[in-house]
């Protein structure tokens, strides 16, 4: 492969998505490779927030039902915009809550221990917040997490095998919660095969799509997944604390959720103010409280961009960027002890590359001081996420060049090899 800067520039000239870069606030003299933690602000998101603020300013209470984006229906409207990204029907989607509160809602709704089926199956590589929520729900129902939380083991510390997950779907499993894409290694799980296996065993299955939505295509309805949940501030560029999402398969709709609230109501019944809930016949029933309108607003703009770009084109460029990054690292950095822990196969690799190094924390600090924003993951991992909508091939080339200089000159040694408060 050509390792010259000019080759990277040529790839950028051939990029059909290059026009979207100007939609984002890209900081001059910095290369941002942390979009899998917090995506950049787009100009359309900024305008959407200003529009919602304007409605509050000018319409006050009437903003709930008037204007371009009536707040009373905004969660449903944004939820519908998730449809092409997760492969679901509009009624199966709602924008609401946060990742962990939504998981609590789904656990309360779908975890129904009965007889010997009392355990929840997860994995040992999952993000801690999911595990905390599962343990909480087990304890609320009187079960010991030590005995009733089953975690699939990893063979290499970075990935999971489909065979091991299916083998763990034993007769005592009442519910399965798995990541669609593992947050460290970026491995894509075979959600379709796992859902078929769970269905054959009569076990409801749900997926955490935090590192999946906006980076890879999903087909939840086609796969017959029972439920899914995700945040929107990573690849979807919804901003810090932006409202999360829920998918519930249509076969489960029409009943009362595990955790009910005012906004669980059917819309035309909500203001009857009855003490008997009439649940929405859609995934809207899984809302609990009043929507966070100002945190929904950025998604109006960001999801417009995804609609125009198309998730298939985004995925194609994402793979090209990560392929290029991996190839350059193997050719230019082989002598410095980096190990690529992400899967090589396209079907198994998400939107970021995960590399390990004994000095990962100090290397990340050196990169940041050099104007390149990576992501450290304890104990020894570096996540690099070239995002299709706003990163370039030339930025990938520059990153590897800077990293090579840091390692050759041992610049990382002047930094402590410990994480910061947020890492």
List, as residue ranges, the binding site for pyridoxal 5'-phosphate.
99-100, 127-130, 208, 211, 233, 262, 290
**How many whole angstroms separate alpha carbon 187 and alpha carbon 171?**
27
43-59 vs 293-309: helix crossing angle, rounded to 10: 140
Listing DSSP states for 236-274 in one string gives T---TT---EEEE-GGGTTS--SS--GGGB-HHHHTT--
Helix/strand/coil percentages in the chain, nearest 5: 45, 15, 40
Give the annotated binding-site residues: 99-100, 127-130, 208, 211, 233, 262, 290
Closest by CA to 258, choosing from 103, 129, 118, is: 103
For residue 309 the two structure tokens come to: 């770009």
- Please answer whether residues 404 and 335 qualify as being in contact, where contact means their C-beta atoms are separated by less than 8 angstroms: no
- φ/ψ of 12, rounded to 5, equals -65, -40
For residue 339 the two structure tokens come to: 């190990």
Listing DSSP states for 155-196 in one string gives SSSS---HHHHHHT--TTEEEEEEESB-TTT-BBP-HHHHHH
| Residue located via tokens 């290059």 | 18
223: preceding bond cis by omega (within 30 degrees) = no
């Amino acid at each position: 492969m050509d390792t010259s800067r000019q080759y990277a520039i040529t790839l950028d000239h051939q990029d059909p998505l290059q026009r979207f870069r100007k939609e984002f606030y890209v900081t001059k003299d910095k290369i941002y490779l942390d979009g899998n933690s917090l995506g950049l602000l787009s100009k359309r998101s900024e305008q959407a927030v200003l529009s919602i603020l304007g409605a509050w300013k000018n319409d006050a209470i009437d903003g709930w039902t008037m204007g371009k984006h009536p707040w009373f229906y905004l969660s449903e409207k944004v939820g519908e915009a998730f449809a092409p990204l997760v492969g679901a029907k509009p009624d199966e989607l709602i924008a609401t809550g946060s990742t962990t509160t939504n998981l609590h809602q789904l656990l309360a709704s779908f975890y129904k221990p009965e007889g010997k089926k009392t355990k929840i199956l997860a994995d040992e590589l999952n993000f801690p917040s999911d595990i905390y929520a599962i343990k909480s729900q087990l304890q609320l129902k009187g079960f010991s997490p030590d005995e009733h939380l089953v975690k699939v083991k990893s063979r290499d510390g970075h990935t999971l095998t489909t065979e091991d997950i299916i083998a763990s779907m034993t007769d005592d499993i009442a519910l399965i919660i798995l990541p669609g894409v593992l947050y460290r290694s970026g491995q894509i799980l075979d959600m379709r095969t796992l859902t078929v296996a769970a269905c054959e065993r009569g076990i409801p299955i749900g997926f955490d799509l935090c590192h999946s939505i906006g980076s890879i295509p999903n087909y939840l309805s086609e796969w017959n997944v029972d439920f899914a949940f995700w945040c929107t501030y990573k690849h979807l560029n919804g901003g810090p604390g932006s409202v999360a999402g829920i998918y519930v398969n249509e076969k489960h709709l029409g009943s009362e959720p595990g955790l009910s609230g005012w906004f669980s109501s059917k819309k035309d019944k909500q203001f009857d103010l009855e003490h008997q809930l009439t649940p929405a016949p859609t995934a809207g029933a899984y809302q609990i409280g009043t929507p966070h309108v100002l945190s929904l607003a950025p998604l109006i703009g960001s999801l417009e961009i995804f609609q125009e770009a198309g998730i298939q084109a985004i995925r194609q460029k994402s793979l090209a960027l990560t392929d290029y990054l991996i190839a350059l690292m193997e050719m230019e950095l082989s002598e410095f002890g980096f190990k690529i822990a992400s899967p090589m196969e396209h079907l198994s690799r998400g939107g970021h590359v995960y590399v390990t190094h004994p000095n990962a924390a100090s290397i990340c600090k050196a990169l940041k001081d050099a104007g390149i924003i990576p992501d450290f993951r304890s104990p020894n991992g570096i996540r690099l996420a070239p995002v299709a909508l706003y990163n370039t091939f030339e930025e990938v080339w520059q990153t590897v060049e800077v990293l090579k200089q840091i390692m050759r000159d041992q610049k990382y040694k002047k930094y402590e090899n410990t994480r910061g408060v947020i890492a």
